[in-house]
Amino acid sequence: MVMRTRDGSVGDVDYGTIGAGYAAWRRPDERIAHVIARALGDARTVLNVGAGTGSYETAAHTITAVEPSLAMRAQRPAELATAVEAVAEDLPFPDGRFDASMTLFSVHQWSDATAGLREMRRVTRGPVVVLTCDPARVRDFWLYEYAPDVLDTEARRYPPLGQLTAALGGTTTIQPVPIPLDCTDGFNEAYYGRPELLLNPAARQACSAWSFIDDHARQAFDTSLRRALGSGTWDEAFGHLRNRPTYNGSLVLLRATS
Ligand SMILES: C[S@@+](CC[C@H](N)C(=O)[O-])C[C@H]1O[C@@H](n2cnc3c(N)ncnc32)[C@H](O)[C@@H]1O
C-alpha cells in the first residue's frame, strides 16, 4: 500500500516538510529546457508526471500536470495549468490520450517506477521523455568526498537505466544532458563549479537526498567543505571546474517511442 503524508506526498520524501523553497531554488534552466523540448518534438498535448512546481512546462504545449503533493501544487505559477492530484502508478487518463509525456527529476521517488512508466506509455501515443540520473554515475561527482551518504542515497534511489528502458518498452534512446556552469535548476550536480552554494542549507533542502541524512551529518559536511574551500584543498583538486562551461555528470534524458 502506498503511504501518503498529510501533504499528499507519496514518494520517499515529504514535500510538506522540505518543499517550501523548491520553486526558488529549482528554477528551470533554459539550456536543459531546450533538450527537453527537442525530445518532445512536435507534440501538442503533453502530460507532465510528478510535475512539481511546473518547471519545464511551456506555452508551446497544452500541458496536463499530475502532482500528488499539495506543497508543490501550491507553488505552481498562476499561468500554468492546475495540476491533477494523482500518482504515476495509477494515471486517471484513457489509453493514448496524449501526444507525448514527460517526467523530470521524479521517477526515483515513485513507489513503483516500472508501474508508473508503463502507465505513462499506456496514456501516450508518441514519445515518453524521462529526465533522471544514472545511478552508476552519481558517485563520480566531487561531492562524494564530502557527503558520501547523500550520494549513496542517490545511487540507491535512482532506478537503473535498464529498468527504465525495460518498463518503457519499444525503442529508447539515452543521451547525457550537459549541465551549464550557471545552471538555474539547483540539483546537486548543478553546483559542480560553485561549491560555495552547497553551503546554503536552503539550496540543499531543494535536493531531496539531503533529507535522508541527519543534522549531525549535514554539519559534518558543512565543516569539511568549508575547511577545504578555506585551505584551498577543494580548488587544488577541483578548481578547474570553476571555469568549465558544462559538466557531463549523471544527468540523462531517455526518449522512448513505441
Ligand atoms: C524533485 S521533484 C521534481 C518536480 C518537477 N518535475 C521538476 O522538474 O522540478 C519530484 C516530484 O515528484 C513527485 N512524486 C513523487 N512520487 C510520485 C508519484 N508516485 N507519482 C507522481 N509524482 C510523484 C513529488 O511530489 C515531487 O513533486
Domain assignment present for 208: no
Which whole number is the average pLDDT over 246-250?
Answer: 98
Report how far residue 6's alpha carbon sits from residue 102's, in angstroms, rounded to the nearest whole number.
26
Place of cell 566531487: 142
For the chain, what is the domain count? 1
The single-letter DSSP state of residue 59 is T
Per-residue pLDDT band for 11 (boundaries 50, 70, 90) equals confident
Nearest CA to ligand 1 atom 16: 11
Smallest CA-to-CA distance from 77 within 104, 51, 44 is with 51
Domain assignment present for 78: yes
Task: Please report the atom of ligand 1 found closest to the CA of residue 11.
Answer: 16
Report how far residue 177's alpha carbon sits from residue 158's, in angstroms, rounded to the nearest whole number.
16
Per-residue pLDDT band for 21 (boundaries 50, 70, 90) equals confident
Which whole number is the average pLDDT over 85-91?
Answer: 98
Nearest CA to ligand 1 atom 23: 50
Report how far residue 162's alpha carbon sits from residue 29's, in angstroms, rounded to the nearest whole number.
27
User: Pocket of ligand 1, candidates 87, 109, 183, 188: which has the most ligand atoms within 8 Å of its Cβ, to mutate?
Assistant: 109
pLDDT digits (tens, 9 = 90+) for 74-86: 999 999 999 999 9
Domain assignment present for 21: yes
Task: Classify burial at 118, counting beta carbons within 10 Å of its beta carbon; exposed 0-12, middle 13-18, buried 19 or more.
Answer: middle
Per-residue pLDDT band for 20 (boundaries 50, 70, 90) equals confident
Nearest CA to ligand 1 atom 19: 110
Is 50's C-beta closer than 6 angstroms to any atom of ligand 1? Answer: yes
Which whole number is the average pLDDT over 148-153?
Answer: 97
Query: 55 or 2: which carries more pLDDT confidence?
Result: 55
SS3 71: helix
The answer on pLDDT for 228 being more than 70 is yes
Query: 3 or 163: which carries more pLDDT confidence?
Result: 163
15 CA from centroid of ligand 1 (Å): 9
Domain assignment present for 132: yes
Q: Which domain holds residue 177?
A: 15-136+158-191+244-257
- The pLDDT > 70 percentage for the chain reads 99
CA angle 106, 6, 3 (to 5 degrees): 60
What are residue 78's phi and psi, to 5 degrees?
-60, -30
Domain assignment present for 65: yes
Is 10's C-beta closer than 6 angstroms to any atom of ligand 1? Answer: yes
Domain assignment present for 9: no
pTM over 0.85: yes
Domain assignment present for 215: no
The answer on pLDDT for 2 being more than 90 is no
The predicted pLDDT at position 1 comes to: 54
Domain assignment present for 248: yes
CATH number at residue 253: 3.40.50.150
Cβ atoms of residues 40 and 102 within 8 Å: yes
Report how far residue 207's alpha carbon sits from residue 156's, in angstroms, rounded to the nearest whole number.
15
Is 187's C-beta closer than 6 angstroms to any atom of ligand 1? Answer: no
User: How high does pLDDT run on average in the chain?
Assistant: 96
Task: Please report the atom of ligand 1 found closest to the CA of residue 56.
Answer: 8
SS3 104: strand
Render the burial of 41-65: b for 16+ CB within 10 Å, e for the rest: eebebbbbbbbbbbbbbeeebebbb
The answer on pLDDT for 47 being more than 80 is yes
Report how far residue 7's alpha carbon sits from residue 26's, in angstroms, rounded to the nearest whole number.
20
Place of cell 559534518: 220
Helix H segments across 96-137?
113-123
For residue 77 the three cell numbers come to: 505559477
Per-residue pLDDT band for 131 (boundaries 50, 70, 90) equals very high
